[in-house]
Chains A and B, each alone.
Chain A
Amino acid sequence: MQATLDASALKPFTRALACLSRYGEDLAIYATPDSISLSTTNSSKSAYSRFKYGRQFFSKYSVTSSGGSHPDEEEEVAVSGQLLTKSLLSILRHRTVEKSVERCELSIVNGGAQDTADEDQDGLESKLIVRLHCKHGVVKTHRLLLLTLTSFLAPGVPDAANESHLTVGPRAIRDMIEHFPVPKGVRSDPQLIWNFGESEVEVKSFESSLDSKGRMQLSTELSISAEEFDLYDVYSTPTTIAFHLREFNATIAFAESMSLALEIRFTDPAAPLFIDVEGDNADTLFVISTSQVPGAPMPSQVSTNTKKREREETPRDFARIKKPMKAVQATDAASFAQADRSARSQSTSRTAASMPPPPVPDRSFRSQHETFEAQMTPVASRVREPLFLPTSSQPLSQLSAADEQVIRGTGLGIEDMNAEELAMMLEGEGEEVAFDTGSQVSTRPKVETESDADDMEFEPTQSSEDQARGFQPLFED
């Protein structure tokens, strides 16, 4: 791998490294012919950061086959390695670099692939060579040992269905956060609780972020108008999440230094928060684990369905407070490359799968949102099965036996009806019946339950109760 940075590209690159170094110690490098991605994960795997630079970012960029060193690799040429972020950063961030460096060459030399690949020539070690061409023809060459990428960590692809989207400028968000003191010296990492309401965002310090001696006795609470956000689209209000500040601050500092806006996406408490910072030739993704706030108002809707997402299949009945999800999961590089390639073939970035739906201008009405979601269902249909009245032929088989008995007892004969028949039947007398089209019938309960997707503290059997409530007008007749 060979990449050349000119002086103007070196600065954002160094800033990216500085940001990465605040996320985690180890820097994973993964270079494909089209892009190079630098990523890091913190030690508790609760935060992940990835910078991906397209080849246009570099004045020269090439990835050549590493020869016979990896014969088992697919035809895709990829170079990877891992090193301490600090050792690279300390070279590039040195104060003399900014003044004097005219060109920076990064190259990765694979162990076996050196021209003189003799084993006794120390050729087994892969190296990242940083060559700085300074003014007056001074050349500084730093050779950093490159380790084999041991565990490849990648963030889970977020579920786009119930995502909330926020876009905010770095200054605005820093103005919010700077009210919350970060104790210096100790490796304390305060958490903030964010409560996203209809028109206001409440931010307050998390009680447990007091240090062990209880010194930080200051509890701060801040209310901000949602108008501070350039885009404010919270899927279900109020949503309350909490996350740590350390990595978030690093992200803000980076966004501010690059004057780029932050696009924040999140779903549920305890599911990770995604932040995209889009710049020229660079695609930046940050993932930060969030935690559920004990005692926070839960979204009021009650879950009725059992099948949402694969990752919820683990039973969670015993724990009300869920463990925060890790920001990353271990994957193998090959699958990453696979995803990378497939994403590229779609001429989009890898995050395409997790891309938010195109923002809709100011969806203030829930119903608009719902119809929008309904239009989006082809994308999400795989995940979200219709809750009831799913097909034209299916009877009301989802009701419990007892309920079915009751329905049969009414003598209305609706037990064998399908959705359309029921809707037709309801149509005539529906003063207080809220739904009149099939599509709304199917979307409404889904919307109500979606926001609470991960909180399956209720037994599935209650769904019958819920449905019974849905049929209440029918029985009152």
Chain B
Amino acid sequence: MSQNGEESEEVHLPPVLKASVHDVRYFAALLRGVNFVNRATVTITKTGFVVVVEEARTLLATAYIFADIFDEYTYNSESPAAPQDSQNSEPEEEDNSAFEIPLNTLIECLNIFGTAGSSGSAAGAGAATGKYKKWKRGGDDSDQEGDDDDAHGRRSSNGTGGNKSIDHYFGNAADKGTGMRMTYAGSGFPLTLLIAEDAAGPTTTCEITTYEAEANLQLPFEPDRMVLKIILKSSWLRDALSELDPSCDKLTFIGNPPPAVINGKQRQQPRLANGTPMLRIQAAGTFGSTEMDYPNDRDVLETFECTRPVTFSYRFGHISRTLRALQSSTKTSLRIDDEGLLSLQFLMPSPKAKAEAAADAFIEFRCLPLDDELV
């Protein structure tokens, strides 16, 4: 690509997006959560951007990445009417830019130094501690030796006050994070990434071709049609899904309204008596079937709202697409509407969130039920 032409362009018009972050791991983890289809639609807004991926016109995955996970985030509307500062955000602003991008390429570019976390152990607080150690070792191996001092210096100069929590989440490997500056000049221009490990090390410039965005599947979830709402720790769902045999093709969520709560004891009786659990995840495969019953225990299900008995089945292949996002998330909200549309929201803990009270990013999956389930 001709650097000169691009720079002259930038002189004329400020780029639509300019974002930088000193550690790409969280950003990469969010992208990885929806990385099951290569072509993703990225919509840039003032407050952040939204990455949408769909599969088989049935499954829609959306990653909401808020501006405050970046150290610097500047959005300039492409429409000439509103070139303005990004800091004063107007909620009604519909003035967005959208493009399609090969998501896999973007993630690979972010991980070009091998420091954005491998796909198996995506950065996140939900995963087990053992994984961090493995991952950290991998990072150590791929890094050059003797740049610790530099990295320390860089980090303290970047100091966002959230270092402690980063260390907490990333097991002190944060020293070696990869910094990134991302620019997008506008429609028709490539997404340009400038990636550097530290000031003294090499720098990589990646230009990823963008495509014009096409209309995505729309699966609106209307809260007033919701029949089942569950909030639970992601680890419960993650364990449940990972325990299922991969040969399973169908996954069924069964919800039953909780019995009238008179006292704490009586709650569990009906479940044991007539075998109608509050929440049952059921799967059938080649070698047998699996049922997992969850009681209405605060330790398991933080919230359980169910208006009527619900049974909806989904293709296991689609539900298992959520595993990568599940692995890095802490909490899951599972909602099903009266037609069986499933909405799964995964809260992705931000390493900065603890210190700055910034909004955690989240990833949402929406999935249509299998039609043949006529219960």
Contact = CB atoms under 8 A, between A and B. Distances in A.
Given A87-B245, A94-B243, A142 B290 contact: yes
A134 to B, nearest CB: 9
A84 B286 CA distance: 12
A137 interface: yes
B287 A137 contact: no
Contacts of A128: 288
12 contacts: A127-B288, A136-B300, A137-B295, A137-B300, A138-B293, A140-B243, A141-B292, A141-B293, A142-B291, A144-B288, A145-B287, A145-B288
A96 B294 CA distance: 15
A140 B291 contact: yes
A85 to B, nearest CB: 11
A96 B239 contact: yes
A143 interface: yes
Contacts of B287: 83-84, 87, 144-145
Contacts of B243: 91, 94, 96, 140
Interface of B: 236, 239-240, 242-243, 245, 268, 277, 287-295, 297, 299-300
Contacts of B290: 140-143
A461 interface: no
A128 B289 CA distance: 10
A90 interface: yes
Contacts of A143: 288-291
Nearest to B128: A95
Contact of A87 (B277, B288, B294, B299): B288
Nearest to A84: B287
Contacts of B268: 137
Interface of A: 83-84, 87, 90-91, 94, 96, 100, 127-128, 136-145
Contacts of A137: 268, 294-295, 297, 300
A136 B288 contact: no
A94 B288 contact: no
A90 to B, nearest CB: 7
A142 to B, nearest CB: 5
Nearest to A138: B294
A185 B293 CA distance: 39
A143 B284 CA distance: 9
Contact of B292 (A83, A90, A139): A139
A143 B287 CA distance: 8
B289 A138 contact: no
A136 B239 CA distance: 14
Q: Of residues B287, B288, B290, B299, which shows the largest number of chain A Cβ atoms within 10 Å of its Cβ?
A: B288
A426 B277 CA distance: 91
Nearest to A137: B295
Nearest to A86: B287
A94 B245 CA distance: 11
Given A96-B239, A127-B288, A136 B293 contact: no
Contacts of B300: 136-138
Contacts of B292: 138-141
A100 B236 CA distance: 11
Contact of B295 (A136, A141, A142, A145): A136
A90 B289 contact: no
A274 B2 CA distance: 74
A31 B340 CA distance: 44
A404 B26 CA distance: 98
Contacts of A100: 239
A139 B278 CA distance: 12
A138 B290 CA distance: 13
Given A90-B245, A141-B291, 10 more contacts: A83-B287, A94-B242, A94-B243, A96-B239, A136-B297, A137-B294, A137-B297, A139-B293, A142-B290, A145-B287
Contacts of B239: 94, 96, 100
A140 B297 contact: no
Contact of A136 (B277, B289, B291, B299): B299
B268 to A, nearest CB: 7
Contacts of A142: 288-291
A204 B288 CA distance: 45
A83 B243 CA distance: 18
Nearest to B288: A144
A83 B293 CA distance: 25
A436 to B, nearest CB: 69
Nearest to B295: A137
Nearest to B289: A143
Contacts of A84: 287
B131 to A, nearest CB: 11
Nearest to B238: A96
Contacts of B288: 87, 127-128, 142-145
Contacts of A96: 239, 242-243
A87 B297 CA distance: 30
Query: Which 7 pairs between the two chains have the least Cβ-Cβ distance?
Result: A144-B288, A137-B295, A96-B239, A141-B291, A139-B293, A87-B287, A140-B292
Nearest to B287: A87
B54 to A, nearest CB: 31
Contacts of A138: 236, 292-295, 300
A133 to B, nearest CB: 10
Contacts of A141: 290-293
A145 B239 CA distance: 23
B20 to A, nearest CB: 38
A137 B293 CA distance: 8
Nearest to B285: A87
Nearest to B236: A138
Contacts of B294: 137-138
A84 B285 CA distance: 14
Contacts of B297: 136-137
A91 B290 CA distance: 10
A112 to B, nearest CB: 18
A144 B283 CA distance: 12
A140 B295 contact: no
Q: Of residues A84, A90, A137, A145, which shows the largest number of chain B Cβ atoms within 10 Å of its Cβ?
A: A137
A430 B277 CA distance: 91
Nearest to B301: A136
A142 B291 CA distance: 6
Nearest to B294: A138
Contacts of B289: 142-143
A382 B287 CA distance: 48
